[in-house]
Amino acid sequence: MRTPFASRGEVMERRVLAAISAVVLSYGLLQTMLVPAANHVQADLHTSSQGATWAVLSAMLLSSAAVTPVLGRLADRFGQRTILLACLWIYLAGALVAAVAPSIEVLIAARVLQGVGLTLVPLSFALVKSSLTGPAVGRGLALAATLVTGSAGAGLLAGGLIADHFSWRWLFVIGAAVIVVALVLTSRDLPADEARDASPIDWSGAALLAVALTTLLLAVTQGRAWGWTSWQVLGLVGLALLSAALLVVVEERVAAPLIDLNLMRGGLLAAHLGALMLGVNQFMLYTLLPHLAQAPGSGASGLGLSATAAAALLVPGALLTIPAGRWRPARVDEPRSLLAVGLAVSSVGAGVLLVARGGPLVVTAVYVLVSLGYGIAMAALPRLVARECPPLRLGSVNAVNTVARTVGGAFGSQLAALVLSGQSRPGRSAYDLGFAVAAAAAVIGVPLVLAAGVRQSRVAV
């Protein structure tokens, strides 16, 4: 018989998960909705394809890499709910500015503001852990993690439909509406949390990490435009390596490091390495499959579809990640093992694309298999972090894990672009090379995750 107490607990769980879902949805949608609208932005704001690319992805990517670890650390100190609400307000401001942007410069500035959106993901994971108890924690982490990928797929389709039939500015209006819903639910239903870690913020480490990540990602995103051996790219890579080396020195000496190097081992190292390789695989396929779908042809070298139809091919798989995150293979429930299983399944899916020949239904079916792996891996990542991380550092460690996937995604998208640009007319051989690299990235991730090892669990999730 269900007791009133149990009923209240279930109501609390539903409210927390509804608020967290709205937060993650607001991030996932605005992360990808603008991708199918890149050509519309370029024409409307009279800019180059490079300018449109910066507005669609690069500006938000670089900004998020710089601020996410710092905001995660601030959440450890001032409270996860407090920082989450502040990020949502800044995210909303960026969406509203973008909706009325009169020039490409203003739109890029708005997307820089929206870089705080990436912080919404690790803070959501941390709040699930601190707001729920027992089995509800595992359910909440799985739902939030798989919604990241599921909402991104839905954003691609919605973005294509809206951009083709209305104005791309409506993408930000709709995104702003979702953010408002997230603000209301978060303010009403997420319990207030107390500041728990009063140690000082490591601003030196924050500055060095921001420089290292920003220069590295800038080199990756601009490599094709400037030339991979140009002095600009080599200089940025050198500055990134120097900043990273100085960061290690600083973090070993400060009392409260931004990135605790003592935590970069065992299960947490496995989580970060898995997130990195998963990001490479995911974003390579995000780039390759829509390109293949829209390329002229009828099968091997292209499908000749519109932007909206190309995005629609990925939606069934993207939506599958949500229930896939709740699936547990027989006799496998340990999060590190699940992460390895998810990477292996994603690798198999990318490998099948090497030999698959056919129309849209074949591509959709194979991407469903790939997405099954994404769902398993994405659900395992926050569980592994929650189990291995000290409670006082959940916000900052989740932020590092999210940035690891972002860095992997940056490399993956640029690797895919490099493969496609390496031939004057990208044919099946170019796509096959890209699929092989994506499969290899996930395969390499499996032994890296398993070899990293896991310390004794702190909390069962």
Q: If DSSP codes are grouped into helix, strand and coil, which group holds residue 327?
A: coil
Q: Return the ∠ at Cα 432 (arms to 429 and 436), rounded to 5°.
A: 140
Query: Measured in whole angstroms, how far is the alpha carbon of residue 207 from the centre of its chain?
Result: 22
Of 159, 190, 221, the residue that ends a domain is 190
Q: Are residues 253 and 270 in the same domain?
A: no
Q: Helices 360-388 & 266-294, crossing angle to 10 degrees?
A: 160
Q: For position 442, which CATH number holds?
A: 1.20.1250.20
User: Within a 10 A sphere around the Cβ of 356, how many other Cβ atoms?
Assistant: 13
Q: Are residues 169 and 208 in the same domain?
A: no
Query: Is pTM beyond 0.95 here?
Result: no
Phi-psi category of residue 120: left, alpha or beta, with phi > 0 → left and psi -120 to 50 → alpha: alpha
Q: Are residues 55 and 185 in the same domain?
A: yes
Q: Are residues 8 and 126 in the same domain?
A: yes
- Amino acid 190 reads L
- Sequence-distant (6+) residues with CB within 8 A of 210 are 65, 66, 67, 70
- State the pLDDT confidence band at 356, using cuts at 50, 70 and 90: confident
Of 190, 220, 246, the residue that ends a domain is 190
Task: Judge contact between 377 and 145, C-beta under 8 A.
Answer: no
Task: Judge contact between 261 and 211, C-beta under 8 A.
Answer: no
Four-CA torsion 326, 330, 334, 335, nearest 10 degrees: -40
Q: Are residues 84 and 151 in the same domain?
A: yes
Max mean pLDDT among 144-153, 248-257, 322-331, 439-448 falls in 439-448
DSSP state of 200: P
Max mean pLDDT among 35-39, 110-114, 210-214, 289-293 falls in 110-114
Q: Are residues 325 and 295 in the same domain?
A: yes
Q: Are residues 121 and 268 in the same domain?
A: no
Domain count, the chain: 3
Q: If DSSP codes are grouped into helix, strand and coil, which group holds residue 46?
A: coil
Q: Are residues 377 and 434 in the same domain?
A: yes
What are 134-166's pLDDT values in tens digits? 778 878 887 887 787 777 777 877 887 887 788
What are 53-90's pLDDT values in tens digits? 778 777 887 788 778 888 888 887 888 888 999 999 99
pLDDT at 9: 65
Is the residue at 303 inside a domain?
Answer: yes
Q: Are residues 294 and 434 in the same domain?
A: yes
Q: Are residues 247 and 286 in the same domain?
A: no
What are 266-317's pLDDT values in tens digits? 788 889 999 999 999 988 888 788 878 877 765 556 777 877 787 788 888 8
- State the pLDDT confidence band at 417, using cuts at 50, 70 and 90: confident
Residue with structure tokens 């007319």?
Answer: 425
Average pLDDT over residues 407-427: 72
Question: In which domain, by residue range, is 211 found?
Answer: 202-257
Q: Are residues 36 and 64 in the same domain?
A: yes
- State the pLDDT confidence band at 328, using cuts at 50, 70 and 90: low
pLDDT at 197: 65
Is the residue at 206 inside a domain?
Answer: yes
Is the residue at 195 inside a domain?
Answer: no
Task: Judge contact between 182 and 26, C-beta under 8 A.
Answer: yes
pLDDT at 456: 44
- Sequence-distant (6+) residues with CB within 8 A of 46 are 104
- Sequence-distant (6+) residues with CB within 8 A of 1 are none
Closest CA to 90 of 188, 211, 191, 182: 182
